[in-house]
A and B are shown apart, each in its own frame.
Chain A
Amino acid sequence: MHLTIKLLANRHPSFIARTVFVKNNDVDDACRLVNRILGKEGILEQYRLTRYYEKPFQTRRRVNHEKCKAIYNEDMERKIQFVLRKNRHEPFPGCH
Chain B
Amino acid sequence: MLNVIKNAVRVSALRCIHSTAPQATEKFDHKRIPADDEGVQGEKIVDLDSVLKLKQNIFPTLESDSLLFGGVPYKDLPICNIRVTHNNTVFTVTDSAGLVKLTRSCGMEGFKNTKKGTNIAAQTTAISIATRALDKGFKTVRVRVRGLGPGRLSAVKGLQMGGLDIVSITDNTYVSWNPPRPRKARRL
Contact = CB atoms under 8 A, between A and B. Distances in A.
Interface of A: 2-3, 14-23, 25, 27-28, 30-40, 43-44, 46-48, 50-55, 58, 62, 65
A46 B177 contact: yes
B19 interface: no
B48 A19 contact: no
B66 to A, nearest CB: 9
A38 B37 contact: no
Contacts, number: 130
Given A15-B60, A31-B169, A46 B156 contact: no
A16 to B, nearest CB: 6
Contacts of A36: 42-43, 45, 48, 51
Contact of A21 (B59, B160, B181): B59
6 contacts: A15-B142, A19-B169, A22-B166, A36-B51, A48-B37, A65-B34
A18 B148 contact: no
Contact of A47 (B62, B65, B148, B170): B148
A9 B183 CA distance: 31
Given A15-B144, A27-B166, A46-B177, 20 more contacts: A14-B172, A15-B60, A15-B75, A19-B170, A21-B57, A23-B55, A25-B165, A28-B153, A30-B169, A31-B169, A32-B45, A33-B42, A34-B169, A36-B48, A44-B40, A44-B148, A47-B175, A53-B184, A55-B185, A65-B34
A28 B185 CA distance: 33
A24 to B, nearest CB: 10
Contact of B60 (A16, A28, A30, A40): A16
Contacts of B173: 38, 43-44, 47
